[in-house]
Structures are given as structure tokens and as C-alpha cells.
């Protein structure tokens, strides 16, 4: 019989669902169906579920010295839940070819029963994920490292940019925005363009800063690896080798993040440049003026801080 606890929390105005689970030892797909309904009840798009699932994701990759696959119905149900809630196994995403295990039992059996499931909107914030070293337990701890500070600062900066532009072009600051639409001394189309230009400037500045910090971090990691290589030549100590593996993994994750950034910027550039040369998008812009007007007034009423 399994159990779980689910938290519906708010962090910096963003609601998230956190769940810790201990899956049943027997093949019980109803348990995971129940969790799905409980999590869906909160309606949050950002979800983190972690714990001892007692089910592996991939029999070939996640088990050692097993004679048969355990709990196949629960496994199928978990995959169904992953699809419906947009969950992914973040450790496997970052370690697609690794064979590592979080539990060991009799007859030298080992398996990866413990892992984090997160929604795809959180994936970009995961700097690293790992399986730790166990202590007085047949299970190893599983870890994820989230980096949210800069992204939160950027979100706040964008909100401030929008508010600054709206205040700059409002025609009557004394207007009662609770009963009347906010009016501006430029058209909604031009106001929209001014907001986009302001936000674009902040995005370029933020991206430039991130790139410099990433390059600096990469040089530091490469230097540390070179020092550890020198130590390994002198004495091939396991502790030095493990430290080198850890730093090499950190470097790999950093470079993968940079590649994702390049792809994202390329998509954004295509969208912006394609919009300029496409009559379809130009017509779409004209049709959306009313929607932009609604957005601007809603933004002003909510007074995002």
C-alpha cells in the first residue's frame, strides 16, 4: 500500500503543485490514477512529483540482475499520467545513456525506483539532477538543482518595462481605471510596438549578461578539469576521479543549456523576421488590435508588481 502528500503552494505569485510519493510494492495502477486526479484538481501547470515510485521507467536501462519486469500495469499507468500532466523524468532527460540505480536488494538486484517527475515548463530551470550516496538505507537520495533567481529578476524587469511604457503614454492619469478604459495619446498599435521594443531591449541586455556569465563559468570548469587531470597523472585516486566526473557533468549541462538557448533565439529571430516579411502576419496584427487593447487595460487594472 502506497501513500503520498500533495502541496498547493504559491512562490512569488506563481502557483505550483509539489507531491511526495511512496509507491505500492504491488502492481497497483489505481494508486497512480488517484494521484493524477488529486494533482489535476489544483489546475496548476507547474508540477513536481518525487519519491520512491517502486516502478522503473525503462526495464533495460533502469534495472540490473532482474529476472522479470515488475509492476507492468503501474508502469503503463505512470506513462499515461506523464502524458496527460506533461511530466518528464528529468534525470533520464539529462542522462539519456547512463545506467545508475537508486535501490539495491538481495541477489545483487539494483534498480532506479526513485526519481523526480516535473512538467516541461520547469525543465529549463533545472541546472542538474543526480543520484546521491546512500547512508544506512537501501535507497539513495535523488537530487535536482533549480536556478530561478535570474529568470525571476527578468520577469520582474519585463513587468516594470510594460508598466513604464503604459504610464509614459497614458493621456489622463487621473482616469478611474475601475470604471473606464485607460486612454493613451498614441494608438494601441503603436503602444504595443513601444512595449515590444522596450521588452526587447531588456531581453538583449539580460541575454548578453547570461552569455558572459556562462562563458566565465565554462572557463572556470575547464580550468578545474585541467588541474584534476594533473592530479590524476600523479596519483589515480578514486576521489579525484569522482570529482572530475562531477565537474565534467556540470560542464556538459552548461553546454547543453547554451545549445538550447541558441535554438530558442533562432526560433525567436525567425518569428520576428518572418513577421516583417509576411502579409499574413501583418493582417493578423491588424485583427488583434482589439485584443491588445483588452490586454493593456487588464494589465493596468491588475497593476502587476
**Annotated binding-site ranges:** 52, 54, 138-139
* 87-89 β-sheet, strand order: 3-11, 14-22, 47-52, 114-119, 87-89
∠ CA 220-226-227, nearest 5°, is: 90
Return left, alpha or beta for 86; rule: phi > 0 is left, psi -120 to 50 is alpha, else beta. Answer: left
C-alpha cell at 196: 515590444
Distance of CA 220 to the CA centre of its chain: 25
Torsion angle (degrees, nearest 10) of CA 57, 59, 63, 69:
110
Place of cell 490586454: 295
Task: Extract the annotated binding site for Mg(2+).
Answer: 52, 54, 138-139
Under 8 Å between Cβ of 79 and 44:
no
Q: Are 66 and 109 in contact (CB under 8 A)?
A: yes
Q: Which of 156, 130, 158 is nearest to 143 (CA)?
A: 130
Q: Cα dist. 62→45, 81, 103, 123, 291 in Å?
A: 28, 19, 10, 21, 49
Which residues have a Cβ under 8 Å from the Cβ of 231 and sit 6 or more positions away?
Answer: 237, 240
Q: Which grid coordinates are listed for 64?
A: 540490473
Amino acid at each position: 500500500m502506497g501513500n503520498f502528500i500533495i502541496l498547493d503552494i504559491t512562490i512569488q505569485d506563481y502557483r505550483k503543485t509539489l507531491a511526495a510519493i511512496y509507491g505500492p510494492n504491488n502492481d497497483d495502477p489505481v494508486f497512480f490514477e488517484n494521484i493524477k486526479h488529486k494533482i489535476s484538481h489544483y489546475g496548476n501547470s507547474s508540477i513536481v512529483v518525487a519519491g520512491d515510485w517502486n516502478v522503473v521507467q525503462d526495464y533495460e536501462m533502469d534495472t540490473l540482475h532482474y529476472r522479470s519486469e515488475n509492476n507492468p500495469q503501474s508502469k503503463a499507468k505512470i506513462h499515461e499520467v506523464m502524458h496527460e500532466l506533461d511530466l518528464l523524468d528529468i534525470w533520464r532527460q539529462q542522462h539519456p545513456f547512463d545506467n545508475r540505480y537508486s535501490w539495491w536488494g538481495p541477489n545483487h538486484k539494483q534498480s532506479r525506483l526513485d526519481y523526480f517527475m516535473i512538467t516541461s515548463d520547469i525543465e529549463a530551470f533545472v541546472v542538474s539532477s543526480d543520484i546521491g550516496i546512500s547512508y544506512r538505507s537501501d535507497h539513495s537520495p535523488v537530487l535536482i538543482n533549480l536556478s530561478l533567481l535570474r529568470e525571476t529578476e527578468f520577469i520582474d524587469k519585463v513587468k516594470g518595462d510594460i508598466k513604464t511604457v503604459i504610464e509614459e503614454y497614458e493621456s489622463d492619469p487621473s482616469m478611474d481605471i475601475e470604471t473606464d478604459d485607460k486612454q493613451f495619446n498614441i494608438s494601441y498599435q503603436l503602444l504595443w510596438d513601444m512595449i515590444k521594443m522596450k521588452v526587447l531591449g531588456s531581453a538583449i541586455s539580460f541575454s548578453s549578461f547570461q552569455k558572459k556569465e556562462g562563458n566565465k563559468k565554462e572557463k572556470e570548469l575547464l580550468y578545474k578539469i585541467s588541474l584534476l587531470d594533473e592530479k590524476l597523472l600523479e596519483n589515480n585516486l578514486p576521489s579525484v576521479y569522482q570529482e572530475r566526473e562531477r565537474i565534467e557533468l556540470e560542464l556538459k549541462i552548461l553546454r547543453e543549456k547554451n545549445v538550447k538557448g541558441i535554438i530558442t533565439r533562432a526560433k525567436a529571430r525567425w518569428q520576428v523576421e518572418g513577421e516583417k516579411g509576411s502579409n499574413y502576419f501583418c493582417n493578423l496584427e491588424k485583427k488583434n488590435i482589439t485584443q491588445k487593447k483588452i490586454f493593456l487595460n487588464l494589465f493596468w487594472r491588475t497593476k502587476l508588481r
